[in-house]
Chain A
Amino acid sequence: MKIAVCVKAVPDAAAGRRLDPGTKRLDRSGEQTVSEWDTYAIEEALVLKEAAGEGEVVVVSLGPEKAIDALRKALAMGADRAVLVSDSSFEGADLLGTAKALAGALERESPDLVLFGQQSADGGGACLWAAVADNLRRPIVSQVSELSVDGSSLTGKRQTEFGYDTLRLPLPAVVAVADSINTPRYPSLKGIMGAKKKPQETLAAADVGGVDEARTTVLALNPPPARGEARRIEDDGSAADKIVEFLVERRLL
């Protein structure tokens, strides 16, 4: 079984994430890491491959050249191969352009299963998979907290606003997993050492069917509306008293 995992390289949370006031897009100049949400999808792919006893896990991403550093983390976790779509013409690509580029890369791979994490760590958009699935003309299920694959089909338990549904999809299919599905492993030292030697391919726009002009625009960045005064305390043994004082002050007690 061949599993492709779509991942996003994002600025390291520790280094802080900010929007560039000039381009009004995410500042990607700092160190890149794989989005924490995507590590659940990588883990699930590895678990499925291990359960099947055979197969291949390919991580696929769209991003700047240095996103390859982030993809190496996925390789260190155990993925077999990385494919990065990187082309300066993709800068500023919106959901539509990103979905098309990923679908283009996925068509070259034709995996049995495509996995996504439940959201990106920076943009917050939780729906890219559905656009990719439509481009690929494959069935989709999202918000999956339990997944099993049985020969030519998969069974997924998803959570919606109304509780848990169980769905069956024939392969090939697209699945977006929730962060409750597993606990991602940490890369081992051996995994980290071996990651650099694993195949890493870079594709240009022409390899994935070209670039679409963005249909959405970013017009301005504004400060958020004030939410009143936020207070922050470190517990020194008196936190309970301070919370009570606060509640009394706000007439909540």
Chain B
Amino acid sequence: MKTLVFLEHHDGAIQKGALGVLAKAVALGGEVAGVVAGTGVRALAEEAGSHGAATLWVAEDERLAAPLPQPRVDVLARLVRDEGYDTVLFAQSVLAADVAAALAARLDAGLNWDLVDLSAEGVGTRPALADSVYVDVGWSSGPRLAVFRAGTFDPSPTGGSAEVKDAAVELEDFSTLAEMVEQAHAEQQGPSIEEADVIVAGGRGLGEPEKFALAEELAQALGGAVGATRAVVDAGWYPYSAQVGQTGKTVSPKLYVALGISGAIQHKVGMQGSSTIVSINKDPNAPIFEFSDLGVVGDLHAIVPKLTELVRARRS
């Protein structure tokens, strides 16, 4: 097995999910290399090496500064072809999913995504249909491309070091057409919800922005933090820093209380690692009930104030 891991980075650090996939690659055995693309990325060699990459390919180029997929596809495609990698692994993210799919098209290679495991024999595990069935998937030809579900593997420091090599940056004409006009700046307010033991999250079912007070009061009573779905963040009801899901935070608290959240995949991938999930939703068919430990079909506006009062009474 000769594996290349796409190491996504942000603010001078490799993403935790990518380091987790690197640990998985090391566990699978064989030759393991990482690739980083951007500006000032040579500095990531130490982190990549100490987490298991024997080789780190560095694509250092101004045209790779913005986190956009297409120029990265050009870099990875050339590396896979020239160096003969038989396996290319990604940790799920907005960027990684786009890079992986376009790379599959470019290399005429098979891509399996949303995997939660991969065996050394090349069999991947993909939960399907709201995780009601686990599908064993494989590849009929190489190279094998795989995207792992966010948070599937934890990083595992090996204490090693990586041999740094320069990757060629030769870009297709259409790969640089998308232009970053304004890039997101980290907007961190208060303690990160990723550290909270209890999260009370609200979705569209709250009805209106003011009703987030229900989630806030319950969170306070339980000694937890407040989370939100993408729908309500995009609608401006709650700040992005509280967003849980595919394009938000991935959390795994001891208790996750979902208020008026349908449980779309976008949200689910960010919170399914929670130890206990309690959900309240008036729609008995809401997908969130499929993965809740306690599902309550009912009107949250009637239930939550009473619940908050009972929790307060118990804790005082």
Q: Which residues of A contact B (CB under 8 A)?
A: 17-19, 24, 94-96, 99-100, 118-119, 122-135, 137-143, 145, 155, 158-170, 173, 178-180, 212-225, 227-235, 239-244, 246-248, 250, 252-253
Contact = CB atoms under 8 A, between A and B. Distances in A.
- Provide the main secondary structure of the chain B interface: mixed
Interface stretch (B32-40, B44-52, B92-100, B155-163): B92-100
Contact of A127 (B101, B110, B178): B101
B145 to A, nearest CB: 9
Given A163-B184, A163-B186, 19 more contacts: A130-B97, A142-B97, A161-B248, A165-B67, A167-B68, A179-B266, A215-B108, A220-B136, A221-B136, A224-B133, A225-B134, A229-B293, A230-B291, A232-B294, A239-B280, A240-B303, A240-B304, A253-B314, A253-B315
Contact of B240 (A94, A95, A96, A163): A163
B178 A141 contact: yes
B86 interface: no
Contacts of B297: 232-235
A159 B231 CA distance: 11
Interface in B155-203: 172-174, 177-187, 198
A32 B302 CA distance: 37
Contact of A223 (B95, B134, B276): B134
Given A127-B101, A223-B134, A214 B110 contact: yes
15 contacts: A95-B111, A99-B101, A99-B105, A126-B265, A134-B70, A134-B102, A134-B106, A159-B240, A163-B187, A164-B240, A165-B180, A220-B136, A230-B291, A240-B303, A247-B255
A17 B129 contact: yes
B68 to A, nearest CB: 8
A143 B246 CA distance: 10
Contacts of B278: 243, 246-247
B227 interface: no
Contacts, number: 272
B128 to A, nearest CB: 7
A216 B311 contact: no
Nearest to B69: A130
Given A19-B135, A253-B315, A125 B299 contact: no
B255 A130 contact: no
Contacts of A155: 181
Given A19-B128, A224-B132, A252 B276 contact: yes
B111 A96 contact: yes
A216 B140 contact: yes
A62 to B, nearest CB: 15
B133 A223 contact: yes
B249 to A, nearest CB: 8
Q: Most chain-A Cβ atoms within 10 A of its Cβ — which of B113, B198, B299?
A: B113
Contact of B97 (A127, A223, A228): A127
B120 interface: no
A96 B69 contact: no
A162 B135 contact: no
